[in-house]
Chain A
């Protein structure tokens, strides 16, 4: 320090946060807000998603799974509370930063089937490419790795209109992987698939969490499969949202009251729903 210069005091702020947490919410309320009234879908949601974790979001039709997913992805404004992604609040995250934090897989989108599989997966690199979208060698590596992880390398030159529903779902997952985000969110990735492919896709997601250390959150109706594969489960009910490992939730007996009990019951021995006999 030069003589005469004022002494500067440096204050080192050490943020004390769990570095494994990718996304967390605090007292989150989701719903719709219009000029006249607010529709509250769910409130007091406290959850976190960690690295390498496969989390299923389950709940009956119309309970607001999509609304919650949309809010977590920043598509929709939350009514109250806070969503943090990588230690930063969602409201202060720009759309560019968000595209490098969360990738999504949706169903029923007007996707151009005239794209080849490679082209579609390559679109996952858009946040990283220049103004006209030129792929650099590094981008090509990411795409190739995504194709390999999802095991669709042999499909890459095919057009999307040539694919089956199951194959297309894998391509969309590969696109999300190529986007190279710590968190992948999928909205009902198993709809339209037969039971084999449902299991295949969920097993694929499980393997992806192990291989890539990404956190994966998906909404699903396949509770039986989710209970077997997921690290944790978010159960959305009308008045509360619970989160826990499958075993914790089963112990809390939350599934017993999930559906009206006239048709199906939760069988604790096999950990699955059974038709009432």
Chain B
């Protein structure tokens, strides 16, 4: 489509904003690090003027920034994929029940641990068990959704099934929460707040691997995603293999949303909102532009939210899950009201 060069500049601008917010994110926190020390930590290993700064940056803030970028962009892309696949503006990773599946896995481990009791407790409450549990939870839901999507011809039915899984798992979590002791309940609640800062380099590497595969799968679908803008029947008449394409898109979404939820907790809002934010800023539906824009937009939103969550200059860190909605929701509302036009 003819106007791609016009948007290239805009994408470049978004990329610069990502880099700037990333830099700002490294600089701000409980201790503010001056820019020159950040550059020194990266490029000038000899001077070592401030080794503690370097330690903070390399061991704590840099993995956190990368996690924020992967999380924001990955969730935003999975939201975009769902919205286009289902031709439904309300779709997002939550709708497929992925976050709920992950939540159920974690809830079972955390709050069920007291039921298993004894020797298992130590293992069950370790950090790795949470990651494993939420991965298993989301992939089980994914498997169910994939089975359903292979059997059902109507995409709307898949959407409903996803929602049913979501409320089913939410119900089980509530029952578990009702019977579990306060300490475990608290631990679950903390997990559900989401967190970007707890990842080691090793975990960041695993997450980026999943992210990479998910994004790669999405890129292979760009042409079909554009065709799906006409609805499935037109897409089919244009030679798109509907069910094969659907499975690739759902697999990409689950890889992205599942791995992110496993490592960073159930972060709401980003997946649903970023595609809408981007459509309001860049009024185009061509996925060749929309996909990179959403990747960059998701990263920016997450980085900004993380800066806000740190409350620069203070020792507190607010739950990221609350901040994304606190910052994102008014922006979406403002954009929609200002433009008076819902672009989808």
Same complex origin of A and B: yes
Q: Which residues of A contact B222 (CB under 8 A)?
A: 132-133
Whether B175 is near chain A, meaning CB under 8 Å from some CB there, is no
**Interface stretch of the complex, out of B136-144, B193-201, B278-286, B323-331:** B278-286
Name the one of B1, B237, B341 contacting A102, with C-beta atoms under 8 angstroms: B237
Which residues of the partner chain B approach A161 to less than 8 Å between Cβ atoms? 341
- Cβ-based interface call for A99 (8 A): yes
Q: Number of contacting residues on A, CB 8 A? A: 35
Q: In which size bucket is the chain B interface?
A: 20 to 34
**Which chain B residues numbered 295 to 344 have a C-beta less than 8 Å away from chain A?**
341, 343-344
Say whether A168 faces chain B, with CB atoms less than 8 Å apart: no
The answer to whether B239 and A119 have CB atoms under 8 Å apart is no
A110/B87 contact (C-beta < 8 A), A96-B239, A123-B226, A179-B238 known: yes
Check if B233 is an interface residue, CB within 8 A of chain A. yes
Chain B neighbourhood of A123, CB < 8 A: 226-227, 229-230, 234, 238
Taking CB atoms, residues of chain A closer than 8 Å to B87 are 110, 112
Q: State whether A119 and B227 are in contact (beta carbons under 8 Å apart), knowing that A104-B233, A109-B233, A114-B279 are contacts in the complex.
A: no
Question: Which B residue's beta carbon lies closest to that of A97?
Answer: B239
Are B233 and A106 in contact, CB atoms less than 8 angstroms apart? Answer: yes
Q: Which residues of A contact B285 (CB under 8 A)?
A: 112, 114-115, 119
| Chain B residues with CB under 8 A of A119 | 1, 285-286
**CB closest chain-A residue, reference B222:** A132
Q: Does residue A21 face the partner (Cβ distance < 8 Å to B)?
A: no
CB proximity of B151 to chain A, nearest CB, Å: 13
Collect the chain B residues with CB atoms within 8 Å of residue A120's CB: 230
Contact partner of A118 among B2, B241, B344, CB < 8 A? Answer: B2
User: Which 3 residue pairs of A and B lie closest in terms of their CB atoms, listed nearest first?
Assistant: A99-B239, A109-B231, A112-B229
Q: Which residues does B use to contact A, with CB under 8 Å?
A: 1-2, 87, 220, 222-223, 226-227, 229-231, 233-234, 236-241, 279, 283-286, 288, 341, 343-344
**Interface contacts beyond A111-B234, A114-B279, A118-B1: sample of 5 additional A-B pairs, CB < 8 Å, sorted by A:** A95-B236, A102-B237, A109-B231, A123-B226, A127-B239
